[in-house]
């Protein structure tokens, strides 16, 4: 008995150039939509982070006042331990999201203002963020 070579007939698998191009175009469109929606959110995130930092500093000021019966004269006092307790804040927490130091001023016996210069990093302008 002679053996005959058997030829397997099957379909070829793989993607055509059109299919690959279609997937690349769809990914490009989705990336464009995402970029349009995400663009500009960095500034808003920095503003929100700065507001949260101002809130944390305000809490530290209030804790300092409760512990010492006086308001701090500067934010640096919050970075020093009180009566053997650890500091309320770390030095790097005294800067806003743009890396500018917060401004602190007492407005009365128990009132204070914490201010960030905002995006332009200049105090007393329209984009300032305060408590």
pLDDT digits (tens, 9 = 90+) for 29-71: 888 777 766 666 778 888 888 888 888 888 888 888 888 888 8
Q: How far is CA 112 from CA 13, 19, 95, in A?
A: 72, 64, 17
Task: Report which of residues 48 and 83 the model is more confident about.
Answer: 48
d(CA 95, CA 55): 13
d(CA 22, CA 31): 14
Domain contains 77: yes
CB neighbour class for 21 (10 Å; exposed up to 12, middle 13-18, buried from 19): exposed
Domain contains 1: no
Domain contains 21: no
Domain contains 62: yes
CATH number at residue 108: 3.30.700.10
Domain span holding position 99: 47-130
Domain contains 91: yes
Domain contains 14: no
Check residue 33 and give its pLDDT.
75
What is the token pair recorded at 44?
Answer: 């808003």
32-36, 122-126, 127-131: segment of lowest average pLDDT: 32-36
Domain contains 30: no
d(CA 131, CA 43): 18
Q: How far is CA 84 from CA 69, 80, 81, 87, 88, in A?
A: 16, 10, 6, 9, 12
pTM: 0.68
Domain contains 73: yes
The structural domain count of the chain equals 1
């Amino acid at each position: 008995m002679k053996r005959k070579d058997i030829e397997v007939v099957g379909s070829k698998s793989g993607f055509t150039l059109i299919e690959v191009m279609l997937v690349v175009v769809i990914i490009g469109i989705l990336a464009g939509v995402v970029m349009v929606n995400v663009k500009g959110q960095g500034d808003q995130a920095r503003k929100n982070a700065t507001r949260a930092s101002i809130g944390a500093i305000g809490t530290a000021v209030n804790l300092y006042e409760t512990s010492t019966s006086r308001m701090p004269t500067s934010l640096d006092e919050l970075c020093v331990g009180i009566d053997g307790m650890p500091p309320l804040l770390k030095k790097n927490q005294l800067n806003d999201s743009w890396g500018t130091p917060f401004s602190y001023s007492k407005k009365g016996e128990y009132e204070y203002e914490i201010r960030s210069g905002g995006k332009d990093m200049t105090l007393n302008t329209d984009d300032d963020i305060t408590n």
